[in-house]
Amino acid sequence: MGLGYVGLPVAHAFAKKFSGVIGFDVSAGRIAELRKGHDSTGELTRAQLDEVAIEFTDDAARIADADFIVVAVPTPVDANRSPDFSILRAACKSVGKNLKRGAIVVFESTVYPGATEEICGPALEKASGMTSGVDFKLAYSPERINPGDKAHPIEKIVKVVSGQDAETLEKVAAMYETIIDAGVHRASSIAVAEAAKVLENTQRDINIALMNEVAMISRLAGFRTKDVLEAASTKWNFLPFTPGLVGGHCIGVDPYYLTSRAEQLGYHPQVILAGRRINDNMPRFVATELLKELATNGFPIRRACIGMLGATFKENVPDVRNSKSAELAIEIEKFGMSVQIADPHADPEEFEEEYGHALVDLDKFGDMDALILAVPHDAYMDGLKDLIAQKLKPRGVLLDIKSVLDPKEYEGTYNYWSL
């Protein structure tokens, strides 16, 4: 249930081992494209879709035939950065109305510890009229798929599994063992598996926040952060994290699920929220530093034209959820500058609907006062030097957010800066 970046690869993996796999999604458009053999997320190729038999449907009644139900729907945060379970609750309602007695319902959506049994279980009971743990069983197996990462497909990632009793745990483990070559880890409880998932991304978030803070200090001290990291990484136990804009539907969201639960339990997290504040503030920091760079080099701020390469949350994927490029553009425009954004992967209609900002083709770029390499997609990296020469004014500001360029190639021609 849910055929996005997570659900579709899971359905595909099961369909390679089992017949009768049903892929359900509420989006009729998504179902239509998958039936035609096209995956707009880029996770699966046409050949991969053609090699299996999945019944793609938006008819929730088909859930009634399922003995093993995997729920992989989005769990975002709301405007107050609190967990938003509305999509998950709706999924539980649809499953509950069509739930077969004796079925196992496995949740892969990211939640805080306790949510599967405290929120999902009761929602299923209410919709089905059945009793959790008696008429149907709950399980949790957190998704670990990294969108766009072809080196780590689902079968190569160890799967954490859990169940509400020992029998369910073994059944769930056996199912996932058929599709996961890397093996499974049996968590001691559903709450432990839920906590493990949010911890994974919270750890990354905090480490990136540290690098972002170092980047701010490096900026003030007048040296390049990448040079510092290259020196520090010569020690065997130095962790290879880098600064950047933390967007997407996982790292920038999951810590708020953990902190929300902590506050429910009476504890106010400090380190986690401090890291979130740093990372949430990075678009504003970058915009402010860009303004300083332009002003220092004599560019008129109110008439400055900025080009931005990249609108998705990471390289080589079409996902624009929680796009920090969009936030950065908004912050820049607060200073009166205009921003044009181009991206070879993002859907222009989806981006404009989400952020109210149109994407443009690269040929619309020209005579830019500043050019921001926000997301280094492979699609334009090979010809990037020529692109910069064509689109950026001499002495213009070249902002390399992820430090993927060699500054020596641009010194003297442009004003280069990176995090």
Q: Count the Cβ atoms, other than its own, within 10 Å of residue 339.
A: 21
CB environment 368-406: b (16+ within 10 A), e (fewer): bbbbbbbbbbeebeeebeebbeebbeeebbbbbbbbebe
- Rounded to 5 degrees, what angle do the CA atoms 214, 275, 284 make? 70
Catalytic residue among 92, 120, 250, 305: 250
Antiparallel, parallel or unpaired: β 415-418 and 392-400: parallel
Which residue, among 166, 162, 143, 164, has the nearest Cα to 154 in the 3D structure? 143
Specify whether the CB–CB gap between 130 and 105 falls below 8 A: no
Angstrom distance (rounded) from CA 342 to CA 355:
14
Q: How far is CA 391 from CA 251, 307, 309, 327, 385, in A?
A: 33, 8, 11, 23, 10
Residues 181/217, Cβ–Cβ less than 8 Å: no
Q: Report the distance separating Cα 339 and Cα 312, nearest Å.
A: 16
Tell how strand 68-71 and strand 54-57 pair up. Answer: unpaired
Q: What is the DSSP string of 248-302?
A: TTTTTTHHHHHHHHHHHTT---SHHHHHHHHHHHHHHHHHHHHHHHHHHTT--GG
Q: What are the DSSP E strand ranges found in 108-158?
A: 137-140
**How does DSSP classify residue 92?**
H
Distance CA 95, CA 167 (A): 22
Q: Is 92 one of the catalytic residues? A: no
Instruction: Give the H or E element holding residue 194.
Output: helix 190-221
Please name the amino acid found at residue 344.
P
CB 374 within 8 A of CB 398: no
Nearest-10 crossing angle of helices 271-296, 254-264: 140
State the burial class of residue 70 (Cβ atoms within 10 Å of its Cβ: 0-12, 13-18, 19+): buried
Residues forming the active site: 250
